[in-house]
Amino acid sequence: MEELAESSRYQSQKQLAIRSAASVFAEKGFHGASTKDIAERMGIKQGSLYYYFKSKEEALGEVCLFGIEDYVERMKSIGSSDQPFETKLMATITSHLTSYRERNEALKVHNDERLYLPEDKRAKLKELGSRYRQQLEKIFEEGARTGALRGTIDCHFAAQAVIGMCNGWGDIIVREPELDLFDLIQKCTDLVLNGFIERRKTRRDGSDAVEQQRTIKSNKD
């Protein structure tokens, strides 16, 4: 009688509260956003907001964690699916980029405002992020085992680089609603798989021509 009351109009405002907070945090940053701003966006008075959150930090916490579990879960199911490496990679990139459009404010906040979170939530968020990265790392490791990847690939690096690149598109995706997300997903996947350089030229010597990757001259020091 008190656990789940989905049917009534009661309780239904909590999600609106989280979304309002997310949107104001995204716009003004955590400290720039006042509880008055959030309440007004939600259509209530400043004091009333404390019915939903017992502090501003808690509001940020709920915003940051809102839906993130699902997101990590999705990553996990991609990893354990039966698809070839290329497909898993593309699915990951799809999931990551798409989520920016689906829940833009929340993710933007998640990226920028971690540091204002109370310690426990920050730890949880860090752990979820780490789980997410490890999941992707496993996909790369499997790709390496099955020979889909070049042997020299550092899987830890690879996972981090892909996540970084995807996050780099986050702001742009949020700012430019007309951007063709599917096109972007394909290009990102293509970059990660194939890189940018041409490989037309065939070897002149009779060697095995196992690798045609170009190496780059070090210009260190």
Partner DNA sequence: CCTATATTCTATAGAACTATAGAATATCTT
Partner DNA sequence: AAGATATTCTATAGTTCTATAGAATATAGG
Residues that bind a copy of itself (CB under 8 A): 27-32, 85-87, 89-91, 94, 112-113, 115-116, 140, 143, 147-154, 157-158, 160-161, 163-169, 172, 182, 184, 186-200, 202, 209-220
With CB cut-offs between 5 and 8 Å by kind, which of a copy of itself, DNA, none does residue 20 bind? none
Measure Cα distances from 164 to 122, 133, 158 in Å. Answer: 19, 11, 10
Choosing among DNA, a copy of itself, none, which partner's interface includes residue 56 (Cβ < 5 to 8 Å by kind)? DNA
Least distance between DNA and beta carbon 104 (Å): 22
Structure tokens that stand for 95 in this block: 């999931």
Task: Give CA 122 to chain center in angstroms.
Answer: 16
Question: What count of other Cβ atoms lies within 10 Å of the Cβ of residue 9?
Answer: 7
Please state the closest distance from residue 42 (CB atom) to DNA, in A.
8
51 binds, among DNA, a copy of itself, none (CB under 5 to 8 A by kind): DNA
| Least separation in angstroms between CB 18 and DNA | 13
Residues that bind DNA (CB under 7 A): 1-2, 5, 7-13, 33-36, 39, 44-48, 50-52, 54-57
Give the chain's largest Cα–Cα span: 79
The CA-based angle 138-144-148, given to 5 degrees, is 120
Query: What minimum distance in Å lies between the beta carbon of 68 and DNA?
Result: 22
User: CB 153 → a copy of itself: shortest distance, Å?
Assistant: 5
Q: Among DNA, a copy of itself, none, what binds residue 70 when CB lies within 5 to 8 Å by partner kind?
A: none
The nearer residue to DNA, 42 or 166, going by C-beta atoms, is 42
* Nearest-10 crossing angle of helices 56-65, 119-145: 20
CB 170 within 8 A of CB 108: yes
Q: Are 43 and 17 in contact (CB under 8 A)?
A: no
| Nearest to DNA of 45, 199 (CB atom) | 45
Q: Which of 185, 212, 87 is nearest to 142 (CA)?
A: 87
